[in-house]
Amino acid sequence: MVLKSRNKEPSVETDAVKETSHEDDTPKETQEHHKSHHKKKRAKHDDESQSYASKRLVFMFGAVIGVLLAAYLGAHRHKDFDKLFDLQDYVDDWRGFLPENIRSVLSDFDFATPSQQDLTENFSVGKAMKKDYGLTSKFPVVMVPGVISTGLESWGTAGVEGCPSQPHFRKRLWGSMYMIRTMFLDKVCWLKHIMLDPITGLDPEGITVRAAQGFEAADFFITGYWIWGKIIQNLAAIGYDPNMMITAAYDWRLAYMDLERRDTYFSTMKAQIELQKKVSNQKTILIGHSMGAQVAYYFMKWVEAEGEYFGNGGPNWINDNIAAFVDISGSALGAPKAVPALLSGEMKDTVQLNALAVYGLEKFFSRRERVDMLRTFGGIPSMFPKGGDLIWGTLEDGSADDELSPNKNETFADFIRFDEAVGTFSSRNLTMADSLDYLLDMSPTWFQDRVREQYSFGFATTPAELQANNQKFSTWSNPLEAPLPNAPDMKIYCFYGVGNPTERAYMYQEEQNKTLAKLNITIKAPNNEKSPVFFTDGDGTLPLLTHSMCHKWKTSRYYNPGGSPVKVVEIKHEPDRFDIRGGAKTAEHVDILGSAELNELILKVASGRDDLIEERQITNLSRWVSEMDFAL
């Protein structure tokens, strides 16, 4: 482009030749005029040349700075690019000559010695911890992924009418680019494969879909989008290999007891842990993320219970085989967003789309279709909020987290709100406990039966009730009804994110034309005057109150009969604006698995150096829990 621009400038040599060729044939005055004109043109051209040279210098300077910045930011540490020169000194030298807006951008970067930004690189946390603290592998590790994290593969060859399974054999229908392609090109058949039978809660006849196995099941959701990949890498960096760590992948669509009945999931986990102890002579670290923490908790109740489909491991199995239970952003007391997802197929992510995007999503995958699909997944209701009015508040007394509400005249206990009473479905506002009853009342009978058979969402009121629930599997995913195992030697760690706005309550509107909408209600603010979603503190998915049990376990021998020591570390959400996954200091619900601090904490637990872990409480959750009116 520079050369092309230069060709358009007048040529001094050419003009001079033209003027000289006529000089002898013209009068003297004319010659003087031409000379004067020529001098003016030459002076003008000199000015333009100087301006052009100045612009070219600025352009070249900007290009050099851009290349240097791009090279530095894009370089990997193993290339030793940082040893070529001190970029911080180079930037400081030029900082005073740069415009204010550029200086403000540069101030967001730390070009000095390696900082926590570098800890987003593969294996970097593990290598640093090994170098600084001498951490090495000690305890075997079992990792339990969260909801939707495990890939699902088709293993059938029959299929159903119009939708054969053979073309999908061993292809991932969940957790891959193949899933996305199939959803767009053949949504009907994809739904027939991925949905469960509403009556049995298992595979429809002719369909066989199973959880992927091994580390590949949950290390990446799709190419480039890591989930457990960072943790696996950093464990490997301190000496772990497949003989010392396992990903306990599972079909998250299934109700928990159906995981054992269909896939012998818990029996397999029990056998793997026992084998690990036999080989390494060490107990296991059980790590669960999100719903995976609930599954891990359920396993600890299942393995010691007696009866058909139960573990029959005896009352000391956990104490003898589990060194620690690590709860990472666990949904112990549920996720409020699970209620609107199964009530109207909505949540913050769909409500906040613009009108065009909402229209497109509705045409491609409507709210009614989303509700119908999710209700066949027996595992999703396990994430319904637990504890009712005790944890989530009442309309009269409010909720413990109301101090975080921007409007002091409103309470988060008002979980589902209606601005206008249109009919029977919008006659009154609902608390969390009311909302669950409301959801079940509007659901098919088969859904109601499965939820009531598999789960319980209340709280025990007597020690005898807690003890009896040790044999009642519907309570095992609810720590308010089923206590921790009596395992004084097992340690408990709760690591979760805070400081990220998290949905807590919703404004609904009853549909005027229920036949057209195919739903009774939908999330919508009156006249779109304000957001129909109300936010509190949390990790972007789970609000603070979900982690109340971590603090209750520290003080209550009813819920923690063995007195297992509990450490709680709240991780502040401080995302890197230039990293789409939040960078080394994120605490977002999923991205926290790549957080440098969380990875450090896990390595300290796994290597037996939990003496390096210091508790941290940023929020008032501990105080809130102490002020709750627990019966026990």
Active centre residues (catalytic) = 290, 539, 589
526 in helix, strand or coil?
helix
- The Cα–Cα gap between 88 and 91 comes to 5
- The Cα–Cα gap between 412 and 429 comes to 11
Beta-bridge partners for 174: 152
Q: How far is CA 443 from CA 436, 451, 579, in A?
A: 11, 11, 41
Torsion sign (Cα): 52, 55, 59, 65: positive
Which residue in this structure is represented by tokens 């070009």?
A: 111
With a CB cutoff of 8 Å and minimum separation 6, the contacts of 469 are: 460, 475, 476, 481, 482
DSSP, res 480: T
With a CB cutoff of 8 Å and minimum separation 6, the contacts of 621 are: 544, 545, 547, 548, 551, 570
Tokens for 198? 């509403």
Which residue in this structure is represented by tokens 């061993």?
A: 170
Q: Angle 136-141-144 (CA atoms, 0-180°, nearest 5)?
A: 145
Q: How far apart are the first and last CA of the chain?
A: 78
Q: What DSSP string runs through 79-145?
A: GTGGGT--HHHHHHHHHTTS-HHHHHHHTT---SS--GGGGGSTTHHHHHHHHHH-----S-EEEE-
